[in-house]
Amino acid sequence: MHVLITGAGGHLGRKLFDTLESDPGYTVSGIDIRPVDHPDIHTADLSDDSTWTSLLKGVDVIVHLAGDREPAATWPSAIKHNMDATLTLYHHAVAMGVSRVVLASSNWIHGDKRFTHDALNSKTPPGPVNAYGMSKLFCERTGAYFAEHHELSVICLRIGWTQWTHDNQPGTHMAMGRWGQEMWLSDRDFLSGMRAAIDAKDVSFAALNLMSDNPGMRWDITETQQVIGYSPKDGSPAKITASIAFRSALKRLFAVWLPNYFTTRFPDW
């Protein structure tokens, strides 16, 4: 199986590239917007659809990790590097006979649920709170369209938190309090989930959570286990200190309670 990884020189992309490269069951190549010191990782900008499409020849599965990954991404960047680039990639994947795209989606699709008690799964209504989350929702919905109308298998993985720092170990150093800790995803669970999505049979379209098996979390991974056979090996309960609880309460006060109070009390303000 030939797997092409976009964003192959990035934090997650290179981990996946190296893992697949060491497995004789895969042929792996990559694309990255920046030069990477590897002969099979090619430099290309996905927003320029004239320079890279030949690299899709003979590819079975694209793992699409490229894009602006910052929650604070601006609208121009989210539109160009996430929405437009992914839409272009879907079109060329169909034209070149690629059978599946595994899309790196995001937990930010449910950003508005941080201070609720909603279970988070594929049936939970989306609520992006920033341009980044909105761009990932767009990529999911256009993926569903290509699955339905062009027979391109699309599996969207709403990836949890894989840290650049702290050797990606969970704990109180993680931002966003309980919300941040409960979306932790270990390196080996990330790789396991990606390989499960690459290898899964008979999946037309799916949007699935990809977190480690963290006790007490609101993200439902049973769908991920059932649909693609994901089998997480790690998990960590959130550790809530007094400082974390205080900062979370302040965030909730200013982000939820006060806006809701003024909207209810002064609907015309």
Kindly state whether residues 120 and 171 are assigned to the same domain. yes
Q: Domain check: are 149 and 79 in the same one?
A: yes
Q: Are residues 54 and 71 in the same domain?
A: yes
149 and 255 assigned to the same domain: no
The pLDDT profile of the chain, 269 residues, written as one tens digit per residue, is 999 999 999 999 999 999 999 999 999 999 999 999 999 999 999 987 678 999 999 999 999 999 999 999 999 999 999 999 999 999 999 999 999 999 999 999 999 999 999 999 999 999 999 999 999 999 999 999 999 999 999 999 999 999 999 999 999 999 999 999 999 999 999 999 999 999 999 999 999 999 999 999 999 999 999 999 999 999 999 999 999 888 888 888 878 788 888 788 888 76
Same domain, residue pair 55 and 147 = yes
Residue 123: alpha-carbon gap to chain centroid: 17
CB atoms within 10 A of CB 21: 16
Same domain, 150 and 252: no
Q: Give pLDDT, residue 73.
A: 97
Residues facing 42 on adjacent strands: 31
Give CA 53 to chain center in angstroms.
23
Same domain, 7 and 71: yes
Closest CA to 231 of 197, 268, 267, 266: 197
Task: Write down the pLDDT at residue 16.
Answer: 98
Q: Are 255 and 115 in contact (CB under 8 A)?
A: yes
Same domain membership, residue 246 and residue 159:
no
Query: Where in the sequence is the domain holding 254, given as residue range(s)?
Result: 239-268
Give residue 91's pLDDT: 96
pLDDT at residue number 233: 98
Report pLDDT for 197: 98
Beta strand 100-106 with 41-43: parallel, antiparallel or unpaired? unpaired
104 and 54 within one domain? yes
CATH number at residue 88: 3.40.50.720
Q: Angle formed by the axes of helices 131-150 and 85-95, to 10°?
A: 20
Do 192 and 243 lie in one domain? The reply is no
Please tell me the predicted confidence (pLDDT) of residue 99.
98
Both 122 and 7 in one domain: the answer is yes
Query: What pLDDT score was predicted for residue 244?
Result: 87
Number of domains in the chain: 2
Residue 154 shares a structural domain with residue 262:
no
